[in-house]
Amino acid sequence: MDEGYRVFEAHDARDALTILDHRRDIGVVVTDVEMPGGMDGLALASTIRDRWPETVILVNSGRVRPEPNALPIGAGFIAKPYRISELVDQLERLLEQNGVRRRSDDDILEAWYAAEIAHAKADPVDKPTLRARAMAAEQMAIARFGYGAHSAVYDARFPDRPPPRP
């Protein structure tokens, strides 16, 4: 998932903590309850809350639904399977609760445009990944504006710019 966010992937909880130790610009962590290695996602979430209390945490799982008191204070939960738009909506709600603004309509439209341009200019080997990102960005625009309306809103906001997808 990209959706205008920079994403770092970690193989396990230890890798996630190492990334957090070395990066000061990470504001959100999404983790699964079940993870490889010795620490599960709930323990990771608790460790993150203790060490980086300002970090927004979203826990997910397709099998385990943790008790509300098992999640660190302020952490969210989303059950799998979910749509990318549902994940982003949940993240934005958590960010708002923590004083971070929700992405504007223009931010969503810009992310869609940038993803389509990146896909159009990509090398053939990168096209599948960038197509998936562009589709996810378009789904966010659809979720915000409605199917079909997302293109009309884009055209109205950016009349001098070509449409995201010709």
Architecture of domain 13-97: 3-Layer(aba) Sandwich (3.40)
Spans of all domains in the chain = 13-97, 105-157
Task: Indicate the length of the chain as a whole number.
Answer: 166
Report the SS3 class of residue 30: strand
> For the segment 68-123, what is each residue's pLDDT rounded down to a tens digit?
789 998 899 999 999 888 888 888 888 888 776 666 788 888 888 888 888 889 88
> For the segment 3-24, what is each residue's pLDDT rounded down to a tens digit?
667 788 999 999 999 999 998 8
Cβ–Cβ under 8 Å, residues 10 and 37: no
Q: For the whole model, what pTM was predicted?
A: 0.61
**What is the C-alpha end-to-end distance of the chain, expressed in Å?**
23
In angstroms, rounded to a whole number, what is the distance separating the alpha carbons of residues 118 and 100?
Answer: 27
Q: CB-based contacts of 155: which residues, under 8 Å, 6+ apart?
A: 163
